[in-house]
Structure 1
Amino acid sequence: MKLETIDQVAVIGSGTMGSQIAMVCAIAGYRVVLNDIEESSLEKAKESLEGHMERWIKKERLTEQQVAEAFGRIVYSTFLNDLKDSDLVIEAVVEKLDVKRDIFEKLDQLLPEHAILATNSSTIVSSKIADATFRPVKVCNIHFFNPALVMELVEVVQGPHTSDETAQTAFQFVESIGKLPVLLKKEISGFVANRILGKLMDEALFLYENGYASHEEIDLVVTKALKHPIGPFALMDLTGLDVNYYVRQQRYEESGNEADRPAKTVEEKVNKGELGRKTGKGFYSYT
């Protein structure tokens, strides 16, 4: 399939990542279906996007007309059947393999033969999902970074099952929405950015859990000494502590290595429902 074939894009999962991916695609001129199983989640996503776009208008990044046209391209839906005319689907749901495989199996039966099925996962490589479909050559990872509206880089990952044509079309699609793609022709869990970031997170949690420094002090050192735009604990709050937990749990289930288990602190916070910004409390408190 060629880039010119892509007219409608579907995004499954209307959380922070999914909703912003949908908006990026709509701003670029694509028709978009944003899908979620919960109507309330879609309403929350629309409200959040409206807030972001209001700020963009004030900063003169977009005009009111451009924003109105972008929203006019987005359809919000709780029915998978509404995705049946999509040429590219980006799945952005919870980091659970069984959930993703079930979605891809259903999409495979629903979508036209030419459609590309991509997962936004940064941990679960597409070879673990592709055999749930009859089109493994059209399955790949297209990994956006949070927040997707702002972050420029996108990792496109070609699995051993992914055709060169699919990988190139995905690469060109990322360019077409104004992002900077990097193509990995060999898959590995975590890809590039998150494998490096993961080591930083592990060390930050080790220092915190063993009482060497508070989470505020660690974030301060990382931002001021290492010049990162955000510290590791603030970043976990931003992306969601549940995301960190499920990523590590998935990795542990694959490797059996105790070092890959979620950190004790993260697990405790997830069990208490302290997931970060989206719940109002994580390592920091938010109002």
Structure 2
Amino acid sequence: MSTDIRTVVVLGAGTMGSQIAAVAALAGYTTALVDIRQEQLDHARAQLRSRLDRDVEKGRRTRADVDAAWEQLTLTTDRDAVAASADLVIEAAVEDLKIKRSIFAELDRVCPPHTLLVTNSSNIVSSRVADATDRPEKVCNLHFFNPALVMACVEVVPHETTAPETVDAATAFVESLGKTPVRLKREVPGFVANRLLNALRREAVGLYEDGVADFKDIDLAAKTALGHPMGPFELMDLVGIDVVYLIRLAEYEQTGDPSALPARSVKEKYEAGDFGRKTGRGWYEYPGA
């Protein structure tokens, strides 16, 4: 456990937020998972119980560790009550800049002066929310990867006025979770991993749209020639084609570069509501999803 951080609050009980909260609780932190909707918290609790119980059954975790984590984890709709004693707040709410700026401004008023305020966003860099607070030096991105309970990488991304002490504390926190911090020297939309991934995805979609190969064969090449665990189209279905689409729009909004816009085929699937595994259909079909 990081000596500077003992109490963690995670805002947003979606897939990412709930798993980040579970990771923190498993590492021994007093953790609160917050959402504005009780039904979302109930869903998150059920999903985490199922996931962690399965991990115990498969021998990935011990029952004692999981039980101890549940003792550390609180799920609540009362954000201000738990934020008032937080050492670190991780925002994992909706990818909407206006909403995020409002959240950071409210947290700045409620949290103690020492509290670090970080966003898990991979599209909205922290400089765009930091100036909504009176503590921009204590704001940065901590970008976890999905599924956060499994993925080792966490990108630590400062903005221009993030204090070195904030970066060090955030890095130590990531290490205390058993994760691998990747420290960026400066912020850039998409950070490192997603920019690498976007380059592969852009080329894969281009090959498909140009009629060079079917998406299934492109995935097959990525797995059998490059050793990737899944192909770029399979990965889009896992992450969510809606997420891929909105990330591309967010990058375009920040850079103005037309090449950042979503590809035609991705846009068509987004507009059809075919988001991948979550909807039962994306590039592939998922019966019973």
State the TM-score, normalized to the length of structure 1.
0.94
Residue matched to 2:26: 27
- Give the aligned partner of residue 199 of structure 2: 199
User: Which residue matches 1:11?
Assistant: 10
Matching residue's letter, 1:146: N
Of stretches 140-149 and 93-102 in structure 1, the one that deviates more from structure 2 is: 93-102
**Residues in 1 aligned to 2:205 and 2:29: alpha-carbon distance in whole angstroms:** 41
Alignment of 1:206-221 (within 5 A): 206-221=206-221
Q: 1:44: Cα distance to partner? A: 1.9
1:105 deviation in Å? Answer: 1.1
Moved more, 154-163 or 79-88: 79-88
Match of residue 60 from structure 2: 61
Q: Name the counterpart of 1:186.
A: 186
Indicate how the Cα distance of structure 1 residues 280 and 40 shifts in structure 2: closer, same or farther if over 3 A, else same: farther
Query: Is the 2:136–2:161 Cα contact (8 Å) retained in structure 1?
Result: yes
Unpaired runs of 5+ residues, structure 2, are none
SS at match of 2:181: strand
C-alpha contact 1:96 1:246 (8 A) present in aligned 2 = no
Paired residues of 1:7 and 1:87 also in contact (CA < 8 A): yes
Name 2:143's counterpart in structure 1. Answer: 143
CA displacement at 1:175 relative to structure 2: 0.5
Q: Distance in 1 between matches of 2:239 and 2:132?
A: 28
Runs of 4+ in 1 over 3 A off after TM superposition: none
Deviations 1:238-287 (A, max 9, x none): 11222111111111112222211122222222233222222222222223
Q: Which runs of 5+ in 1 are unaligned?
A: none
Question: C-alpha displacement at 1:209, in angstroms?
Answer: 2.3
**1:21–1:139 Cα change, 3 Å:** same
User: Which residue of the partner structure matches residue 128 of structure 1?
Assistant: 128
Report the CA distance between 1:21 and its aligned residue.
0.8
Partner of residue 41, structure 2: 42
Q: Which amino acid aligns with 1:73?
A: Q
Q: Matches of 2:273 and 2:146 in 1, distance apart?
A: 21
Structural mapping, 1:235-274, within 5 Å: 235-274=235-274
Please tell me the residue identity of whatever aligns with 2:53: E
Deviations 1:134-191 (CA, angstroms, capped at 9, x unpaired): 1000000111111111111111012111001000000000001111112112111111
Paired residue secondary structure (1:10) = strand
SS of 1:277's partner is coil
Deviates more, 1:72-81 or 1:197-206: 72-81
**1:91 maps onto 2:67 in alignment:** no
1:227-242 alignment to 2 at 5 Å?
227-242=227-242
- 2:69 is matched with 70
User: CA separation of 1:22/1:183 partners in 2, compared to 1, >3 Å: closer, same or farther?
Assistant: same
* Distance in 2 (alpha carbons) for counterparts of 1:241 and 1:157: 25
- The CA deviation at 1:94 is 2.6
Contact preservation (8 Å) 2:120, 2:142: yes
What per-residue deviation string (whole Å, max 9, x for no partner) do you get for residues 10-36 of structure 1?
111112111111111110001111112
Structure 2 length-normalised TM? 0.94
Aligned residues of 2:52 and 2:66 also touching (Cα < 8 A): yes
Q: Contact 1:96–1:250 at 8 Å: present in 2 too?
A: no
Offset of residue 122 of structure 1: 1.6
Q: Percent identity?
A: 51
Q: Say whether 1:226 aligns with 2:213.
A: no
| Residue identity opposite 1:242 in structure 2 | D
Report if the CA contact (8 A) 1:34-1:76 is conserved.
yes
Whether the 8 Å CA contact 2:276–2:284 is kept in 1: the answer is: yes
